[in-house]
Amino acid sequence: MGITWDAQLSVGFREIDEQHQEIFRRVDVLVGNLRRGQSKEELEKLLSFLGDYVQQHFGAEEGLMLMFHYPLIGPHRAQHRSFVEVFVELRGRLDREGASEAVTEKLASFLLAWLREHIGTADRALGSFLAESGVTERLAPAAVR
Ligand SMILES: [Fe+2]
Ligand SMILES: [Fe+2]
């Protein structure tokens, strides 16, 4: 199962696309390490790193939604929140059970499926709204780095 960002996932807004690419890079590293059976400490570090970055990314998107009065902010935010809930739950399982194949594969497939689904629908809708509203990249809040 490849974990790469491709142009089909573009939402048409550079700052968001760049953050998505970074998320895919981090997920790819994490999943590679999970499958190689890396130590729990290393996995924890990667999970924190990914979790923090994703939270910042959600914050950046939600900042744009607020700034430009995006009408679908409620359901979009709810999707972000539910990602965080599942992510936290799977991190807890990994912590309790160790990186068993069951947990590892569940985490990998959740990350990939959720990202593709969310980016392809909710984030793309946001990108279209921003484009239709004439929002330029320069007006966006500072990018997450
Ligand atoms: Fe996103
Ligand atoms: Fe989003």
Q: What's the whole-number mean pLDDT along residues 54-76?
A: 97
> Per the domain annotation, does 124 fall within a domain?
yes
> Per the domain annotation, does 97 fall within a domain?
yes
> Per the domain annotation, does 3 fall within a domain?
no
Ligand nearest the Cα atom of residue 125: 2
Q: Which amino acid is at 11?
A: V
Give the pLDDT confidence score for residue 139 in this predicted structure. Answer: 53
Comparing C-alpha atoms, which of 62, 97, 66 is closest to residue 77?
A: 62
Q: Are 77 and 62 in contact (CB under 8 A)?
A: yes
The number of distinct structural domains making up the chain is 1
> Per the domain annotation, does 47 fall within a domain?
yes
> Per the domain annotation, does 116 fall within a domain?
yes
CA 96 / ligand 1 centre spacing (Å): 29
CA 86 / ligand 2 centre spacing (Å): 15
DSSP state for residue 62 in the 8-state scheme = H
Q: What's the whole-number mean pLDDT along residues 80-88?
A: 97
Q: Where does the pLDDT of residue 145 fall: very low under 50, low under 70, confident under 90, or very high at 90 and above? A: very low
- Spell out the SS3 assignment of 75-97: HHHHHHHHHHHHHHHHHHHHHHH
CA 52 / ligand 2 centre spacing (Å): 15
> Per the domain annotation, does 61 fall within a domain?
yes
Q: Where does the pLDDT of residue 63 fall: very low under 50, low under 70, confident under 90, or very high at 90 and above? A: very high
Average pLDDT, the chain: 89
Domain CATH code at residue 46: 1.20.120.50
> Per the domain annotation, does 70 fall within a domain?
yes
pTM of the model: 0.89
> Per the domain annotation, does 87 fall within a domain?
yes
Q: Where does the pLDDT of residue 40 fall: very low under 50, low under 70, confident under 90, or very high at 90 and above? A: confident
Q: Which tens digit of pLDDT belongs to each residue from 11-37?
A: 999 999 999 999 999 999 998 888 887
State which residues form the domain around 20. 10-139
